[in-house]
Structure 1
């Protein structure tokens, strides 16, 4: 009986190996001719399933998917931030200028007062009596002076004759001079009594708010006793504490940016007015003072965020923070060149709004890997995401 021809696959190089079940089926077909059709079909499927094309070349591995951005040039500031407090630059303590008992307190804490408004009224009856006595003394002396002036005039007429002693005229003139001096002293006492009488009504020295009250009605106060403490928000002082380690870089005249939680959208610019020469014993802090007019809405005692600008560079090189990765050699940035990553060790500066200043190692305009930079190595194949460059 003839043997079935082998199956051939056109236009394909195949590497076929003998199939053990097929051999068994062929040996069985020798004695059973009716199995030849099944043998042919089985052989065809075996060749198609067991034989395949041989690979003649290797597939190029895909690059690491990244985003990339150019190195930017922009202004950079070196700043030191702090949280300070707003104080009133004008905060007078109103004290008693004369002694006396407190009759009334015209204001309460929190009240707003105008300049010249009465604050406290003291008992001034003693000064009223002294004013009356001074006025009476002035009247008496003026009468005596008038009489003495007439006497001196008569003596001067008599002195022209030889029958009048000249020393009597000299005595009368001396007494007139003394009375005039006494009159001047009496008038001074009257002015003092009137001034003290006016001081019995304590008036506000400036437009301000009442911050504290130290006396009550009925209290007896002496000269210099504090009565009230006023606070004005027209002129303010911002106090910013800084570590003593910054003493060498902080100085008067440096620009400052201030923000108040009361008006968060408003940035107020000023300059350092003064730096306290001593370090605080409690917090070991150096106090930076900034004096400025109230920009509106700021209150004494409130907190404030401050930034002292120590330095400014107008043409600094910046890359996103995610572009800088740490490697054993140091901070590293990967340049993207011809679909390859090239590692460059850089020197970093300040961090500002998600950007890092590059002090050395890069040039403006160079393309650097951003997202995915942490998975790169020097020479790695990369694929830049569309829109990432």
Structure 2
């Protein structure tokens, strides 16, 4: 008989248990744990730009005359001295031009000797009244023309002589060859760049500023420079120059950062990083994981009230960084912002805030 009663008793017991469970408070009302942090002051935000150490002065070197390059005497990266030959043009054309001008000088000297003698003869004849005054004046004019012609061809000869010297490209000062843009056999125009010289002296760092944040930087702004060869050590610097127009391909603005200390051990071509603080213009920042958006309106979840309930707060976002985003408006320094699982939250939800060490955050003392 017990075996017949047991199947009937089990459903009744289960029903009583379900009824008892239904009379308790739903588990959904329990506070959900959420990870919260407070916004970081703007002083902790720093923009970092990769850069390359360059010389303060980088003249582009080219021949003053056109011609075919016959010799290249230096390589990229080679240190050169002032007046050291760097390259040579084929001298045949300038040599022929110099010879032609020398011949013209000889002809002009011979002509001047002839017209001088003719002038002196007419002068003697005029004194004896054997020729007219007009005949003498004509001889005098021929002499003056011959004299002027000699001055002209001598000047042209000097120019040709200088051009013969221009066939050799020399370094204007001590430095390092930064780049080469010409090769042996290439026909060059006058002034066409053959080498770029990194002159000895001051060193700078060339960086590229993004278009969307270009207005935040200014000439004279204080920065810090870190060389890859000296990690962890930062040198003070200032933004010395900013390009007025963006690069047509990268759409970034070139900027040059000079070292405050001119004796920094930096050489052209070294890699560097430039760190720029915002001088307090961005008041606060939060982790990127705290941000959400609805209809292009960004917002964050803030835990407020003695019951630790969520409030949706619209914010104005500034520049983004690798792990954080700047908040221009909407938050206070003592707010606690949810940074995990924000897509699962809703307005007014009761939560249990904890910090990154899983310790409870007491908000009651902040009301």
TM-score by length of 1: 0.55
Contact 1:78 1:311 in 2 (8 A): no
Structure 1 segment 217-256 matched on structure 2, within 5 A: 217-232=184-199, 234-256=201-223
Correspondent of 2:100 among 125, 133, 138: 133
Contact 2:174 2:200 in 1 (8 A): no
Gaps of 5+ in 1: 1-75, 314-325, 333-345, 350-369, 381-389
Contact 1:254 1:310 in 2 (8 A): no
Question: Are 1:273 and 2:277 matched, yes or no?
Answer: no
Correspondent of 2:72 among 105, 121, 129: 105
Aligned-pair CA distance for 1:224: 4.2
Aligned-pair CA distance for 1:288: 3.7
Correspondent of 1:303 among 264, 271, 292: 271
State which structure, 1 or 2, has the greater radius of gyration over its C-alpha atoms: 1
Task: Provide, for residues 24-44 of structure 1, a one-character-per-residue CA deviation record: whole Å limited to 9, x for no partner.
Answer: xxxxxxxxxxxxxxxxxxxxx
Structure 1: how far apart are the matches of 2:215 and 2:190? Answer: 46
Task: Provide, for residues 122-158 of structure 1, a one-character-per-residue CA deviation record: whole Å limited to 9, x for no partner.
Answer: 2213322332332333233223323433432343344
Provide closer, same or farther for how the CA distance between residues 275 and 224 of structure 1 changes in structure 2, counting only shifts above 3 A.
Answer: closer
Q: Which residue of 2 aligns with 1:91?
A: 58
Provide closer, same or farther for how the CA distance between residues 246 and 149 of structure 1 changes in structure 2, counting only shifts above 3 A.
Answer: same
Structure 1 segment 108-127 matched on structure 2, within 5 A: 108-127=75-94
Structure 1 segment 36-185 matched on structure 2, within 5 A: 79-185=46-152
Aligned-pair CA distance for 1:165: 0.6
Structure 2: how far apart are the matches of 1:312 and 1:143? Answer: 82
Provide closer, same or farther for how the CA distance between residues 276 and 141 of structure 1 changes in structure 2, counting only shifts above 3 A.
Answer: closer
Aligned-pair CA distance for 1:378: 6.3
Structure 1 segment 342-361 matched on structure 2, within 5 A: 347-348=332-333
Q: Which residue of 1 aligns with 2:10?
A: none
Structure 1: how far apart are the matches of 2:167 and 2:247? Answer: 41
Structure 1: how far apart are the matches of 2:187 and 2:214? Answer: 48
Structure 1: how far apart are the matches of 2:248 and 2:182? Answer: 33
Question: Are 1:205 and 2:181 matched, yes or no?
Answer: no
Contact 1:233 1:300 in 2 (8 A): no
Contact 1:98 1:199 in 2 (8 A): yes
Aligned-pair CA distance for 1:268: 2.4
Q: Per the alignment, in what secondary structure is the counterpart of residue 272 of structure 1?
A: strand
Q: Which residue of 1 aligns with 2:304?
A: 328
Task: Provide, for residues 139-181 of structure 1, a one-character-per-residue CA deviation record: whole Å limited to 9, x for no partner.
Answer: 3322332343343234334434544211111111110111012
Provide closer, same or farther for how the CA distance between residues 104 and 149 of structure 1 changes in structure 2, counting only shifts above 3 A.
Answer: same
Provide closer, same or farther for how the CA distance between residues 156 and 225 of structure 1 changes in structure 2, counting only shifts above 3 A.
Answer: same
TM-score by length of 2: 0.58
Q: Per the alignment, in what secondary structure is the counterpart of residue 301 of structure 1?
A: coil
After TM superposition, where is structure 1 displaced by more than 6 Å over at least 4 residues in a row?
Answer: 370-373
Q: Per the alignment, in what secondary structure is the counterpart of residue 209 of structure 1?
A: strand
Contact 2:305 2:364 in 1 (8 A): no
Contact 2:180 2:194 in 1 (8 A): yes
Contact 2:305 2:363 in 1 (8 A): no
Q: Which residue of 2 aligns with 1:377?
A: 362
Structure 1: how far apart are the matches of 2:209 and 2:229? Answer: 23
Contact 2:119 2:136 in 1 (8 A): yes
Aligned-pair CA distance for 1:233: 5.7
Aligned pair count reads: 260
Structure 2: how far apart are the matches of 1:221 and 1:241? Answer: 32
Contact 2:58 2:196 in 1 (8 A): yes
Task: Provide, for residues 100-126 of structure 1, a one-character-per-residue CA deviation record: whole Å limited to 9, x for no partner.
Answer: 443332122322111211111222133
